[in-house]
Amino acid sequence: MNRLKNIDKRLLILLVFAIGVVIAFLPPVRNRLSTQYELIRTRIIYFFRPPSEAVFDPGGDTSPLTVETAIGTVRAEFLLTLTPEATVTLKPGPTAKPTITPTPIPEKAILPGVVYVDQHNRWNYCGPANLTMALNFWGWTGDRDDVARVVKPGSPDTKLDFIQRGLPDKNVMPYELVDFVNTQTTEFRALYRHGGNMDLLKRLIAAGFPVVVEKGYYERDYTGKIDWLGHYLFTTGYDDSRGGFIVQDAYLKPGKDLLSKYEEYQDGWRSFNYLFFVVYPANREPEVLYLLGPWADEAWAAAHALQLAEEEIQTLEGNNLFFALFNKGTSHVVLNQYSDAALAYDDAFRQYSNWDTAKGNRPFRMMWYQTGPYFAYYYSGRYQDVIDLATTTLTKTISTPTLEESLLWRGRANYMIGDTNAAVKDYRAALQIHTNWYPAVQALQELGLQP
């Protein structure tokens, strides 16, 4: 009898264990366990290797290609066709000359009919959630997953995406969101610009066009220190009497119809060179371009952003000065002034190394969201700086090297110094994060290789 009882107990234990295994593999439970595991893993890595301590020191050496190098004449000629000519002096942009006196901006405008979409129960879904809100406002019937399937499709090996499709892709760039609208829909259009200001946002909103901005976001990490993250923010109204914009924050709970004070809004917006994008019905494009005024000209907007950065460099100090210096580099990149951009980024990274960590962690995620330094250093012939910056970003600021942009640029720089094998490895690694990503596919095809 005792033996039968022992057998029954063992069977019961096995049954309970089997049920537990089955439950653990149910998608909602598996996702929660997997995300908790990844969170714990990241915290352990960050404990022993604090990402905020990673500092990139630009070398500043150029790597011109000549026929005497082992790279060869063909690659030298390839560089000459690839590198845009960099200017060393700023050419002022065109002056706005409105032909019609603009309508005064009202003191308050709050757009009705906003459909709030959160990014909860998804990782790195800020971009898809905000774009979905912008499209839903105009009657688009898709959802955040429809956007994500295109802008963060994940790995070609679905077994790597068992938690969430596209999870490793940490960020969706503004151009990817704008391209989604312009290529995946026919009735809507979108554009983005740098160098926006408060009055421009108000003018667009008052005319019925909500705006998405990219901004810095501050919160306390699990250690209690202030941490910086990038964030999109759907802006659907403003109220001067309350001193702020009305925003839909996909991250916060609750996040609908929040008031973002003007000073706080601008302070965060500075982190991304005052970048904004607008989604609108295609048949209303002339109206949007009129409202944008001189910002309709992308070159003017970039030159204006450069002017803003120069002004802020003179007035800001401490940690905020880093963002102004970085913005100067970014504006030069948009203007194809790569040598000037590289020098500006050099100054920014020096300021970064002097960051006052008593006020918060260094913004170690900066290169997750903005890749201007890669353009600047690469097109200035500073390939080793591209490699060093990408390696620092991939190995010291993130728990797993899953940033396709950093991999791509490191691959390009490796190719230019003659290390084709390393370049191919980086290109293929980028495609494991973002399947069929055109820049990496093209890079492999140019080498005669299949993706």
pLDDT for the residue 280: 98
pLDDT for the residue 69: 35
Residues forming beta bridges with residue 248, ordered by sequence position:
234
pLDDT for the residue 156: 79
Q: Which residue has the tokens 């390393």?
A: 422
pLDDT for the residue 60: 76
Tokens of 324: 């102004």
Spell out the CATH class of 106-296: alpha beta
pLDDT for the residue 24: 41
Biggest CA-to-CA distance, the chain = 100
Q: One-letter amino acid identity for 394? A: L
pLDDT for the residue 42: 61
In the chain, where the domains are located: 2-48, 55-94+326-451, 106-296
pLDDT for the residue 170: 84
pLDDT for the residue 154: 85
Tokens of 18: 């089997």
pLDDT for the residue 71: 36
pLDDT for the residue 144: 96
> Residue 237: in which H helix or E strand, if any?
strand 226-239
pLDDT for the residue 45: 66
Q: Give per-10-residue mean pLDDT for the chain (451 aa).
A: 57 58 46 53 69 89 46 33 37 42 85 96 91 98 95 75 64 96 98 98 98 94 85 98 98 96 97 98 98 98 98 96 98 98 98 93 96 98 98 94 96 98 98 94 96 88
pLDDT for the residue 51: 86
pLDDT for the residue 220: 86
Alpha helices, H only, 157-240: 174-184, 198-206
Given its phi and psi angles, is residue 336 left (phi above 0), alpha (psi -120 to 50 degrees) or beta?
Answer: left
Check whether domain 55-94+326-451 has CATH 1.25.40.10, yes or no? yes
The helix/strand/coil state of 108 is: strand
pLDDT for the residue 65: 45
Residues forming beta bridges with residue 191, ordered by sequence position:
278
